[in-house]
Amino acid sequence: MSQYVVGIDLGTTNSALAYAPLAEPSRVSLFQIPQLANAGEVDDFDLLPSSLYIPGEKEFVEGSLALPWNSQPSYITGRLAWLRGVENSSRLVASAKSWLSNQSSDPTQPLLPLTAPEGVAKISPLEASTQYLLHLRSAWNQKNPKAKLEDQPVLLTVPASFDAAARDLTQRAAKLAGFPEVTILEEPQAAFYAWIERNPNWREQVKPGDLILVIDIGGGTTDFTLISVTEKGGELQLERIAVGDHLLLGGDNMDLAVARFAERQFGQLDALQFHSLWQQARAAKEALLANDAAASHAINILGRGTGLVGGTKRGKIARDEVRQILVEGFFPIVDFAAIPERSRRAALMEVGLNYANDPAVTRHLAQFLRRAGSARPTHLLLNGGVLQAAAIEQRLFDVLNGWLAESGAPPVVELRSETKQADLMHAVAHGAAYYGLARAGKGVRIRGGVPRAYYVGIESSLPAVPGLPAPMKAFAVVPFGLEEGSKVELPQRKFALLVGEPAEFRFFSSLTRKTDAAGSMLEEIPDDLEELSPIEVFLPPHGDESREEVVPVTLESNVTETGMLELWCVAADGRRWKLEFNVRERAQVAA
The amino acid at residue 157 is T
pLDDT digits (tens, 9 = 90+) for 527-570: 889 888 777 778 887 665 567 788 899 999 887 765 677 888 88
Greatest alpha-carbon pair distance for the chain in Å reads 78
pLDDT digits (tens, 9 = 90+) for 18-34: 999 988 767 899 999 99
pLDDT score at 589: 37
Q: Where exactly does CATH 3.30.420.40 map onto the chain? A: 4-185, 205-246+338-444
Asked whether residue 352 carries a pLDDT value surpassing 60, the answer given is no
Tell which residue, 74, 80, 36, has the closest CA to residue 55. Answer: 74
pLDDT score at 567: 86
pLDDT score at 65: 96
pLDDT score at 582: 37
The amino acid at residue 514 is K
pLDDT digits (tens, 9 = 90+) for 322-344: 888 999 999 999 999 999 987 65
Characterize the bridge pairing of strands 154-158 and 183-186.
parallel
Domain 205-246+338-444, CATH class in plain words: alpha beta
Sign of the Cα torsion 7, 431, 251, 221 reads positive
Asked whether residue 63 carries a pLDDT value surpassing 90, the answer given is yes
pLDDT score at 562: 57
**Chain centroid to CA 236:** 29
pLDDT digits (tens, 9 = 90+) for 200-242: 888 889 999 999 999 999 888 899 999 999 887 777 888 888 8
Asked whether residue 434 carries a pLDDT value surpassing 80, the answer given is yes
Contact 186, 219 (CB under 8 A): no
The amino acid at residue 39 is A
Q: How confident is the model at residue 502 (pLDDT cuts 50, 70, 90)?
A: confident
pLDDT digits (tens, 9 = 90+) for 373-397: 999 999 999 998 788 788 899 999 9
Return the CATH fold of 251-330.
Answer: Actin; Chain A, domain 4 (3.90.640)
The amino acid at residue 444 is V
pLDDT digits (tens, 9 = 90+) for 410-422: 999 999 765 555 5
- Mean pLDDT score of the chain, rounded to an integer? 85
Q: Which helix (H) or strand (E) holds 155?
A: strand 154-158
Choices 3.30.420.40, 3.90.380.10, 3.90.950.10, 3.40.605.10: CATH for 4-185: 3.30.420.40
Give the Cα separation of 581 and 535 in Å (integer): 8
Burial of 396: CB neighbours in 10 Å, binned 0-12, 13-18, 19+: buried
3-class SS letters over 277-300: HHHHHHHHHHHHHCCCCCCEEEEE
pLDDT score at 590: 37
Q: Which segment of 137-151, 290-304, 402-416, 433-447 scores lowest on mean pLDDT?
A: 290-304
pTM of the model: 0.77
* Integer CA distances (angstroms), 202 to 194, 197, 207, 230, in order: 11, 9, 10, 14
Give the Cα separation of 474 and 39 in Å (integer): 56
**Chain centroid to CA 206:** 28
Report the helix count and the strand count for the chain, using DSSP H and E.
Answer: 11, 30
